[in-house]
Structure 1
Amino acid sequence: MDKIGIGIVGLGNISAAYLKASKEFPVLDIRGVADMNPDAARARADEFGLNAVGLDALFVDPSIDIILNLTIPKAHVEVGLRAIDAGKHVYSEKPLGIVFSEAQKLAAAAKAKGLRVGSAPDTFLGGAHQTARRLVDEGGLGQMIGGSAYFMCPGHERWHPNPAFYYEIGGGPMLDMGPYYITDLVNLLGPVAKVIGIGTMTRSTRTITASERAGEVIPVDVPTHVSGTLIFENGAVVQVTMSFDVAGHKHVPIEIYGTEGSLIVPDPNNFGGQIEMLSKGGEWANVDTDMPYADGNYRSIGLADMAHAILSDRPHRASGDLALHVLEVMEAFETSSRSGAVVDITTPVVRPAPLSKNITNGRLD
């Protein structure tokens, strides 16, 4: 199999998940890792038997085709632009950027140079979500009517050792968790046309309860409870709530409603999970996942799909266009909250192509 050279920038917590999953995809040849903290780069390189290099060396390495950008969200566009300037394709951790207009500059720069942008989340390529996609595409739900999407918790200061960035500009529940839910909804229903939203900040500070920083008070600069409605181009109306303020709830992650049936879609932060379907006049029943990549954490599948797409000259699924559309949708919640108006979404996007059941040796064509 032909391989694509990968260079990784940013060796924080999420990098371990990518490096473990990348072993499932032979097309990915990781040729160097770098971080602003050289010690972090060396430690991760030693853990996975990789080559730690300086940032400058990584960007000019001619054997590297794609920069995998695993830096913090507020650095995603800056690092992405540097990759594009170096003539590399770039695949970013979510979100694509923290400001829609800045992410547009990244997309435009890549287009001008004929380079590709990809972005997490890629969980919608997991077996459970691809099975749910097939059920929708087969028409068993009838005409799409609407749905709901919920992520609600008390806040990440309970478990994260350094949670301050979740409450800074560029953080908050929508930019942190919204990408998983909205990307999966676009995978299921297609593009979003309009957004109505409201965001509130319940507390101006948070107290860390995890690790050695327990008791430290951190400021809150973003809405921590965001709720509203997505109106899709196909007419479906979906209620969405993302919150760091809720003690607990009983909503399922995603429900989809049609004229002939309803579908429960599992947590879009995972690749697998239990699907349930109800046909009109019937009862809820479990649906077996019949697609691959549902039995583990496959964070790297979107990157691998992009690598295969480069080799075969086809569109990749976890694309920059998809991520830019999702970012505009997420930002529209705050715009609508400030203005009290319905916000029109301007970015065009095509639903990503579904995966085939017949995937062998990590190929995703």
Structure 2
Amino acid sequence: MTVGQTTGIAIIGCGYVADSYRQCLSLHDRTLRLTGAYDRDAQRLAAYKATWGDHAYASLDAVLADPACSIVLNLTDPESHAAVTEAAIAAGKHVYSEKPLAMTATEASALRDRARAAGVRLASAPCNLLGESLQTAWAAVRAGAIGKALLAYAELDDGMIHRTHYGDWLSRSGKPWPGRGEFETGCTYEHAGYALTIFGAMFGAATRVTSFAALLVPDKQTTPPLAHPAPDFSVGCIEYENGVVARLTNSIVAPYDHRMRIIGETGTLEIREPWDYASPVILRRPGEGRIARLIERRLGGGLGKRLPMARKVPFKGGRGKPTMDFLRGPAELAAAIRDGRPSRLDEDFAVHITEVTEMLQYPERFDRPARVQSRFASIEPMEWAR
């Protein structure tokens, strides 16, 4: 339900990531109103309520029956996403889902079709595409700062998480980071969207994917051992409809490296951390003379110029605070519904990202190269980045 210009949202799933969303609510107090939260685990729900003081729903049915709630934030574990989203659609609720929208492209397409038949809207994380850093990089591409875009590289290597003390990673309400679930869902499903969304916005739909994936460390030192460990490494080449080719690597084996580069005829844009809305965008020119080439080789990319941000990031991350505004995605969906326009993270886009992600993590399910079936309408940049 929308009251004035505020849209009622409810959280389903009070695990680790729910605190990150809740921590961003104050950034949207004029447009979003939290009606409450629910988790099937009573202890998780109680810990959430004790931390934030929000209304705790007694059941999933109670959430879906509440007329004050217009958008459900589906923050459950990935394997539960489809079932919870389907129930919300049946109840006439719009849904913003944590990634992935579903565990297969077929399942995601079915959710989209059900939502359209029910007259409700879907959108899916990640929402880093809407952040200041990536909007700045996208604006530079549109302005021709690197000439014609030719190639894109993205590293989403997260280090050997299973060798860290991840059991000590607690959210604000004391929820442990769900390592076991992450290892069984797979780092590609968990992380690829952070690159695929911005590449899709910049370059249009992917048309073909050539991928390789492997499980390099089957034993992640969990107790009990993982029943179904997912690939912990993938690398794929993605061809886009505008001719750009991208190479995307995901792993929880190689050392931490989240660098993203967009290479054009006259320069390269580099973003060090696509999970950080304030990550600097560096413009580098290719070395042409002997000295310039030497600098490029010695400095790992050459001298660069930091581009001014499209606007100042309206919050400060770090030191226990998210470096991303997790609620910017739900706020975008709410604004799109109010304005009667497509969401920048709409259901067609979410299906497309799910399909490409599945091709990257499970190449054996598809022909090689895999031809991408899904398409989406062109995405508009944020108004402040035009």
TM-score, shorter chain, exceeding 0.5: yes
Change (3 A) 1:193 1:256: same
Q: Assess, with a 3 A threshold, how the Cα gap between structure 1 residues 166 and 146 changes in structure 2: closer, same or farther.
A: same
Q: 1:206 maps to which residue?
A: 220
1:311 aligns with 338
Any gaps of 5 or more consecutive residues in structure 1?
360-365
Q: 1:75 to 1:292 in 2, by over 3 A?
A: farther
- Is 1:348 aligned to residue 351 of structure 2? no
Contact (CA 8 Å) 2:219, 2:226: kept in 1 or not? yes
Cα deviation, residue 71, structure 1? 0.3
Cα drift, residue 292 of structure 1: 4.2
Distance in 2 between residues matched to 1:339 and 1:59, nearest whole Å: 37
Q: What is the number of equivalent residue pairs in this alignment?
A: 349
**Of 31, 34, 39, which aligns to 1:30?**
34
Instruction: Give how far 1:159 is off.
Output: 4.1
Q: What are the residue-to-residue correspondences of 1:174-193 with 2, within 5 Å?
A: 174-193=188-207
SS in 2 for 1:315: coil
The residue identity in structure 1 corresponding to 2:209 is V
CA contact (8 A) 1:128 1:275 kept: yes
- 1:165 alignment partner in structure 2: 181
How far does residue 136 in structure 1 lie from its aligned partner after superposition? 0.8
In the alignment, which residue of structure 1 is the partner of 2:243? 235
1:97 matched to 2:97: no
User: How far has the Cα of 1:323 moved from its partner?
Assistant: 1.5
Aligned residue in 2 for 1:363? none
- Could you give the per-residue CA deviations for residues 207-228 of structure 1, whole angstroms, max 9, x where no partner exists? 15xxxx7xx6435532111012
Q: Give me the whole-angstrom Cα distance separating, in 1, the residues matched to 2:354 and 2:180.
A: 22
Deviates more, 1:287-296 or 1:251-260: 287-296
Q: Deviations over 1:102-140 (max 9, x none)?
A: 111111100111110011100111111111110011122
Deviation at 1:252, TM superposition (A): 5.4
Equivalent pair of 1:150/1:242 in contact (CA under 8 Å): yes
2:283 maps to a residue whose letter is M
Does the residue aligned with 2:35 lie in a helix, a strand or coil?
Answer: strand
Instruction: Give, in whole Å, the separation in 1 of the partners of 2:365 and 2:111.
Output: 26
Any idea what the Cα deviations from partners look like across 1:226-250, whole Å, max 9, x if unmatched? Answer: 012011111111111101122x26x
Structure 2 partner of 1:291: 311
Is the CA contact (8 Å cut-off) linking 1:252 and 1:264 kept in structure 2?
no
8 A Cα contact 2:268 2:285, kept in partner: yes
Does residue 96 of structure 2 align to residue 88 of structure 1?
A: no
| 272, 276, 286: which one aligns with 2:282 | 276
Q: Which moved more, 1:71-80 or 1:146-155?
A: 146-155
Alignment-mate amino acid for residue 357 of structure 2:
M
Does the aligned pair in 2 maintain the 1:263–1:278 contact within 8 Å? yes
Q: 1:48: which partner in 2? A: 52
1:7 paired residue among 5, 10, 33: 10
Q: Which moved more, 1:322-331 or 1:43-52?
A: 43-52
The superposition leaves residues 47-86 of structure 1 with CA deviations (integer Å, 9 ceiling, x where unpaired) of: 2221001222111111111111000001111100000000
Distance 2:379 2:274 in 1: 16
**Contact kept in structure 2, 1:156 and 1:166, CA below 8 Å:** no
Q: How does 1:333-344 map to 2 (within 5 A)?
A: 333-337=360-364, 341-344=368-371
Check if 1:332 corresponds to 2:348: no
Task: State the 1:358 CA deviation.
Answer: 8.4
Q: 1:339 to 1:51 in 2, by over 3 A?
A: closer
SS at match of 1:240: strand
3-state SS in 1 of match to 2:380: coil
Contact map agreement 2:11 2:72 (CA 8 A) in 1: yes
- Report the Cα distance in structure 2 between the residues aligned to 1:302 and 1:321, rounded to whole angstroms: 15
- Point out the more displaced range, 72-81 or 137-146: 137-146
Per-residue CA deviation, residues 176-196 of structure 1 (Å, 9 max, x unaligned), is 111111112212322211100
Q: CA deviation at 1:338?
A: 5.7
Amino acid corresponding to residue 108 of structure 1 in structure 2:
D
Q: Percent identity?
A: 27
Label 1:292 to 1:114 Cα distance change in 2 as closer, same or farther (>3 A): farther
Letter in 1 for 2:83: E
TM-score, length-scaled by structure 1: 0.90
| 1:321 aligned residue | 348
User: The residue matched to 2:200 in structure 1 has which SS?
Assistant: helix
Q: 1:27 to 1:159 in 2, by over 3 A?
A: farther
